[in-house]
Chains A and B, each alone.
Chain A
């Protein structure tokens, strides 16, 4: 009942709000765990953590359906979890195990769940945008009526593929929502030094499409804005560019000493924590109590602990699998 005090898209039920709160913790605990394992040398390679950016993944994907698709980025663990990803398979992939999403062959940057509509993380900055356009083209040509959420970062917005893809989706009225998670740094490059416009979403007018800037830590604003863009796309009106101002708490990747930003700045953003804010909103609306919030958080923590057990106890791929799956 109290949920009615919040202005929300109609598919966002009271239960869904609770699920989303837990999902945000699932994302945070997943990446915190990965961070610890990297530090201990239990996971190798590299990884890009989205701690602090949970809201843009959870809030955006909350307003699409099962048949809708997403295209993710190198910082994609949150997107995968929100698109009904299986944290066991994700953790197993990071451990390089055969039970992982990619049978241990992809690692953090290539987790995909094609059956569930996650067309994959991507190791190439801006590499996913053209793919999202293609997936949306299928939706239009086969009249499948799905929408594609295309995530990318502020860094990718300076790639040529951004320009080509947004233009192509615009002229063909394709059902894509371009979601720029502006976490203010492309690796170490501050967005202010790398981009002349105040907002990346300002570029939308250059393509003749709607553009919106949202607070990337405000779940309610994210859900409403993405919902509107999804409806716009599903109605055959083409793409929207949404910029979500957010912040990654951790460094770019595991090798980052974070010399390009101050600890004070980090502290300021941590205080704006999107999970904490969502909890306060839900408590105010009577959806959560401190007690139920704590239970959901603990349940998420437990799921991640179980995922670790699953990953650790899973076998490595056999050497015979090396040459498998190069060709279909």
Chain B
């Protein structure tokens, strides 16, 4: 396959466009996704190619547009709903949690809701407390939903195709600060199966399971630690529902040490689930040090850039955690 460098943002757009050219049932709806091109510019140029019927600019009505996506999915379409900020899932919560996630089960296995809710998450843009959260653990808690958190342009394209092809509601979290990052991405369409973790870097001394932007911070930390002779393995689950437990468990069996890093507030964060999976598995017997969790501080995301940075794990925090974990090596 011919590859070239494109951004994470372009990979999102390309995955959607390829699917929309192939399948007339796929369409996008969301606020300001028309001529404006979306709050972050993801859909720029799409209304020109696909027209206003399939790139549906909506009023500011998160509950209704989420429900309209669900109702259209239940009757044969494959909608992609863009929410401008993942914080706004709160306003669409009834539709996603009480309707989309449960419809099939409540109806005794009849009907399906093949939809994708795409939305940017995370801090780092100075948008403060209502536009910077990482609420993926909420969604991961709900049976019936799938939850994806891609970290690279390559993963975005393959995972978004898988999400669109999936017959279930999928929450697809894009990270705002990753939109401009670039990577090698094949021109053709390809799929990355949901529920397959990726080992982003192999190592032998400690496993870091990191999600979204924390994958990049963990990789940076790994480069620094290598200089001091510490070999770090970085596992990116890519999807937290379904979760590739096997890859995580096998990595911990190999390294004997585990650190979990995510941007979301540590209390009640998905890291606790990953840690439990390991603690309850045969990998427990391989542990040579206590498990560590690094997550966001228990505060709303502040506006001041220095405070904002301090609210979530940074590279030095990861380096320090690794050093503590391997000190008895």
Q: Provide the residues of chain B in CB contact with A101, threshold 8 Å.
A: 107-108
Q: Are B109 and A134 in contact (CB under 8 A)?
A: no
- Give A48 to B183 CA distance when docked, in angstroms: 56
Q: Are A131 and B71 in contact (CB under 8 A)?
A: yes
Q: Provide the residues of chain B in CB contact with A168, threshold 8 Å.
A: 58-59, 61, 64-65, 68
* Chain B 30-89 interface residues, beta-carbon cutoff 8 Å to A: 53-54, 58-59, 61, 63-77, 79
Most buried by B among A110, A161, A164, A165: A164
Q: Provide the residues of chain B in CB contact with A132, threshold 8 Å.
A: 71
Q: Are A134 and B104 in contact (CB under 8 A)?
A: no
Q: For the complex, is B224 an interface residue (Cβ under 8 Å from A)?
A: no
Instruction: Given A133-B71, A161-B63, A168-B58, check contact A102 B77 (CB 8 Å).
Output: no
- Give A324 to B74 CA distance when docked, in angstroms: 19
Q: Which of B71, B105, B168 is within 8 Å of A137, CB to CB?
A: B71
- Give A106 to B76 CA distance when docked, in angstroms: 22
Which A residue sits closest to B58, measured CB to CB? A168
Instruction: Given A69-B75, A127-B95, check contact A112 B111 (CB 8 Å).
Output: yes
* Chain A 110-153 interface residues, beta-carbon cutoff 8 Å to B: 110, 112, 114-115, 119-120, 122-124, 127, 129-139, 141-142
Instruction: Given A134-B75, A135-B75, check contact A100 B68 (CB 8 Å).
Output: no
- Give A161 to B71 CA distance when docked, in angstroms: 14
Which A residue sits closest to B113, measured CB to CB? A328
- Give A122 to B94 CA distance when docked, in angstroms: 12
- Give A127 to B92 CA distance when docked, in angstroms: 11
B105-127 near A? 1/0 per residue, CB < 8 Å = 11111111110000000000000
CB within 8 Å: A-B pair count: 147
Instruction: Given A134-B70, A134-B75, A168-B59, check contact A326 B107 (CB 8 Å).
Output: no
Q: For the complex, is B182 an interface residue (Cβ under 8 Å from A)?
A: no
Q: For the complex, is B19 an interface residue (Cβ under 8 Å from A)?
A: no
Q: Provide the residues of chain B in CB contact with A139, threshold 8 Å.
A: 75
Q: Are B104 and A119 in contact (CB under 8 A)?
A: no
* Chain A 56-111 interface residues, beta-carbon cutoff 8 Å to B: 69, 71, 100-106, 110
* Chain B 5-34 interface residues, beta-carbon cutoff 8 Å to A: 25, 27
Q: Are A120 and B27 in contact (CB under 8 A)?
A: no
* Chain B 128-149 interface residues, beta-carbon cutoff 8 Å to A: 143-144, 146
Which A residue sits closest to B75, measured CB to CB? A138
* Chain B 299-325 interface residues, beta-carbon cutoff 8 Å to A: none
Instruction: Given A102-B108, A135-B71, A171-B59, check contact A165 B99 (CB 8 Å).
Output: no
Q: Are A105 and B108 in contact (CB under 8 A)?
A: yes
Which B residue sits closest to A124, measured CB to CB? B98
- Give A99 to B316 CA distance when docked, in angstroms: 59
Q: Could you tell me the dominant secondary structure of chain B's interface residues?
A: mixed
Most buried by A among B65, B66, B110, B114: B110
Most buried by B among A102, A133, A134, A327: A134
Q: Are A130 and B66 in contact (CB under 8 A)?
A: yes
Q: For the complex, is B266 an interface residue (Cβ under 8 Å from A)?
A: no
Q: For the complex, is B167 an interface residue (Cβ under 8 Å from A)?
A: yes
- Give A111 to B201 CA distance when docked, in angstroms: 50
Which A residue sits closest to B64, measured CB to CB? A164
The distance from the CB of A200 to the nearest CB of chain B, in whole angstroms, is 18
Q: Are B105 and A326 in contact (CB under 8 A)?
A: yes
- Give A167 to B79 CA distance when docked, in angstroms: 20
Q: Are B77 and A141 in contact (CB under 8 A)?
A: yes
Q: Are B77 and A325 in contact (CB under 8 A)?
A: no
The distance from the CB of B98 to the nearest CB of chain A, in whole angstroms, is 5
Q: Provide the residues of chain B in CB contact with A45, threshold 8 Å.
A: none
Most buried by B among A100, A122, A130, A139: A130
Q: For the complex, is A41 an interface residue (Cβ under 8 Å from B)?
A: no
Most buried by A among B27, B66, B108, B109: B108
Q: Are A161 and B99 in contact (CB under 8 A)?
A: no
Q: Which of A103, A115, A138 is within 8 Å of B72, CB to CB?
A: A138
- Give A141 to B29 CA distance when docked, in angstroms: 13
- Give A325 to B98 CA distance when docked, in angstroms: 16
Which A residue sits closest to B76, measured CB to CB? A138
- Give A110 to B106 CA distance when docked, in angstroms: 6
Besides A103-B108, A328-B168, 9 other A-B contacts (C-beta < 8 A)? A110-B106, A114-B111, A130-B64, A142-B25, A142-B76, A164-B64, A164-B65, A165-B67, A325-B108
- A positions within 8 Å CB-CB of B: 69, 71, 100-106, 110, 112, 114-115, 119-120, 122-124, 127, 129-139, 141-142, 160-161, 164-165, 167-168, 171, 324-328
Q: Give 24 A-B contacts (CB < 8 Å), ordered by A residue.
A: A106-B107, A112-B107, A120-B107, A120-B111, A123-B98, A124-B99, A127-B94, A129-B64, A130-B99, A134-B69, A134-B71, A135-B71, A137-B68, A137-B77, A138-B76, A141-B77, A142-B76, A142-B77, A324-B109, A325-B108, A326-B144, A327-B144, A328-B104, A328-B167
